[in-house]
């Protein structure tokens, strides 16, 4: 009980999640008088980051960093604008479509929200959209990043659950499309109150412009084809994608030089180090809780409350949603997957479907006050207040939750495509 109270106090004081996990682990060990565990802290923290699958994380982060620096995002926005910009509320559709394109390259919601908040939001405001709507839509559509392959959350889940990351990548495609159309539906409902499109901008685009702006689609294509065909592991596909982006950026678009590579690598090292450290300390926290049987208590509560696989998954989504209001999505996944996956297996839930549901459910925390890192990123980029952004994002988040419930109710949305192509 003391640990729980201190956890929320430290959280309210704004202690970073990594230090919060360390502090709570120490406090819990002292509270239950199990100080013998201290000698194994370093071993358990490092054990959590030894899995080979985590090698893919810095590679996909490098893909995102190269994309951000090279202006590829703007090219994706131009493609989306040429396709849908002539409709009423066209730039809102463009926002969703450009986020779907970018999701297939970045794989990270926070990175995507940061990039899009600085690129498409100013353009939407210039064309007459309210700053709140533009930002709320961008924050919501940014959640497509960890669903459409490649996905960092899928990599982490696959490594923790001993499931094929390639299968998880493919399993995220149909749910990603469903959520994209969910956002389109909300935009369509709001379209009559949105600015008219500019059809002139979609006409007379020279073929060369189309080719140059569509070249970035080679990046996700190379990842998916390489992984599905078995020619590459997800880690190797990440390395190959880095090469593709680097060639496009340096030799085709000429937007970055070799001098820019070292600062980008520095950023990737710092960002991936924080993620890896979070994985290690979240593993430590989960091990400490396991020592006192806390996971078993939680598992028994869920088993008693759930009457079948659907109710179990809905309860898991609820637990993840509450935790997501305070904890980072990666930390949530690392702590709860080892606890909940065995229970899911008892309910005959496909582990791939379970991974897709967990990955999507953790994303709600990115736009949930009071922590909501996606909201903070958008606040920094636009200067708007948190609740202003959250209120504008709420209709899109309701669509997101409806899609999540549909995915829970219809497991084939996650599994039929991997089964069809035999991965």
**Secondary structure of 273-302 as H, E, C letters:** HHHHHHHHHHHHHHHHHHHCCHHHHHHHHH
Take residue 375 and report the two structure tokens written for it: 């909201």
The mean-pLDDT minimum among 225-229, 315-319, 412-416 falls in 225-229
| pLDDT, tens digit (0-9, with 9 covering 90-100), for 368-399 | 776 677 787 788 778 888 888 889 999 999 99
Residue linked to tokens 């131009």: 78
The confidence score (pLDDT) of residue 202 equals 54
Cα–Cα nearest to 264, from 87, 78, 61, 12: 61
Give the integer Cα–Cα distance in Å for 373 and 350: 30
| pLDDT, tens digit (0-9, with 9 covering 90-100), for 41-73 | 777 777 767 666 677 778 877 887 787 777 777
Confidence tier at 411 by pLDDT (50, 70, 90): very high
Half-sphere exposure of 209 (CA within 13 A, CB side): 14
The mean-pLDDT minimum among 22-26, 68-72, 243-247, 362-366 falls in 68-72
The confidence score (pLDDT) of residue 410 equals 94
The confidence score (pLDDT) of residue 27 equals 80
The confidence score (pLDDT) of residue 402 equals 95
Q: Who has greater pLDDT, 109 or 259?
A: 259
Alpha-carbon dihedral sign for residues 84, 85, 91, 94: positive
Half-sphere exposure of 4 (CA within 13 A, CB side): 3
The confidence score (pLDDT) of residue 360 equals 92
Q: Who has greater pLDDT, 4 or 247?
A: 247
Most confident of 25-39, 211-225, 253-267, 275-289: 253-267
Entry pTM = 0.81
Confidence tier at 171 by pLDDT (50, 70, 90): very high
The mean-pLDDT minimum among 157-161, 214-218, 337-341, 348-352 falls in 214-218
User: Is the predicted pLDDT of residue 298 greater than 90, yes or no?
Assistant: no
User: Is the predicted pLDDT of residue 409 greater than 90, yes or no?
Assistant: yes
Cα–Cα nearest to 166, from 107, 222, 224: 224
Q: Who has greater pLDDT, 167 or 100?
A: 167
User: Is the predicted pLDDT of residue 297 greater than 80, yes or no?
Assistant: no
Confidence tier at 223 by pLDDT (50, 70, 90): confident
ω into residue 370 within 30 of 0, thus cis? yes
The confidence score (pLDDT) of residue 102 equals 76
Cα–Cα nearest to 194, from 78, 96, 73: 96
User: Is the predicted pLDDT of residue 21 greater than 80, yes or no?
Assistant: no
Confidence tier at 229 by pLDDT (50, 70, 90): confident
The mean-pLDDT minimum among 72-86, 178-192, 247-261, 307-321 falls in 72-86
Residue linked to tokens 């009071």: 370
Cα–Cα nearest to 265, from 66, 19, 406: 66
Write down the mean pLDDT value for the chain. 81
DSSP 6-55: HHHHHHHTT--HHHHHHHHHHHHHHHTT-GGGGGGHHHHHHHTT--GGGG
Q: Do 113 and 378 form a contact (C-beta atoms < 8 A)?
A: yes
What mean pLDDT comes out for the span 152-157?
86
The confidence score (pLDDT) of residue 107 equals 63
The confidence score (pLDDT) of residue 403 equals 95
Alpha-carbon dihedral sign for residues 281, 283, 286, 292: negative
């Amino acid at each position: 009980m003391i640990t729980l109270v201190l956890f929320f106090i430290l959280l309210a004081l704004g202690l970073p999640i990594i230090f919060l996990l360390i502090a709570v682990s120490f406090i819990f060990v002292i509270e239950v008088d199990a100080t013998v565990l201290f000698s194994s802290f370093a071993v358990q923290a490092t054990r959590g980051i030894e899995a080979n699958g985590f090698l893919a994380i810095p590679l996909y982060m490098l893909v995102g960093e190269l994309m951000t620096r090279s202006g590829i995002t703007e090219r994706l926005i131009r493609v989306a604008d040429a396709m849908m910009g002539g409709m009423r509320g066209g730039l809102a559709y463009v926002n969703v479509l450009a986020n779907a394109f970018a999701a297939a390259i970045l794989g990270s919601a926070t990175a995507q929200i940061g990039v899009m908040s600085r690129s498409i939001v100013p353009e939407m405001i210039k064309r007459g959209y309210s700053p709140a709507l533009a930002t709320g839509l961008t924050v919501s559509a940014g959640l497509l990043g960890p669903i459409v392959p490649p996905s960092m959350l899928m990599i982490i889940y696959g490594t923790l659950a001993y499931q094929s990351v390639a299968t998880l990548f493919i399993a995220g495609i149909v749910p990603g499309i469903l959520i994209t159309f969910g956002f389109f539906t909300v935009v369509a409902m709001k379209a009559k109150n949105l600015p008219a499109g500019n059809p002139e901008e979609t006409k007379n685009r020279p073929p060369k412009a189309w080719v140059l702006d569509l070249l970035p689609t080679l990046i996700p294509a190379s990842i998916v084809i390489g992984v599905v065909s078995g020619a590459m592991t997800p880690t190797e596909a990440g390395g190959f994608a880095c090469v593709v982006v680097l060639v496009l950026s340096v030799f085709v678009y000429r937007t970055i030089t070799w001098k820019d590579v070292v600062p980008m690598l520095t950023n990737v090292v710092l960002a991936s180090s924080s993620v890896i450290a979070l994985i290690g300390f979240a593993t430590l926290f989960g091990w400490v809780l396991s020592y006192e049987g806390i996971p078993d208590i939680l598992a028994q509560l869920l088993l008693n409350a759930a009457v079948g696989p659907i109710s179990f998954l809905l309860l898991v989504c609820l637990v993840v949603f509450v935790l997501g209001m305070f904890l980072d999505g990666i930390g949530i996944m690392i702590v709860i997957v080892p606890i909940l996956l065995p229970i899911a297996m008892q309910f005959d839930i496909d582990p791939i479907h379970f991974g897709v549901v967990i990955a999507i459910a953790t994303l709600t925390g990115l736009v949930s006050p009071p922590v909501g890192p996606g909201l903070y990123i958008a606040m920094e980029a636009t200067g708007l207040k948190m609740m202003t952004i959250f209120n504008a994002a709420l209709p899109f988040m309701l669509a997101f939750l409806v899609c999540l419930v549909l995915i829970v109710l219809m497991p084939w949305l996650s599994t039929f495509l991997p089964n069809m192509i035999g991965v």
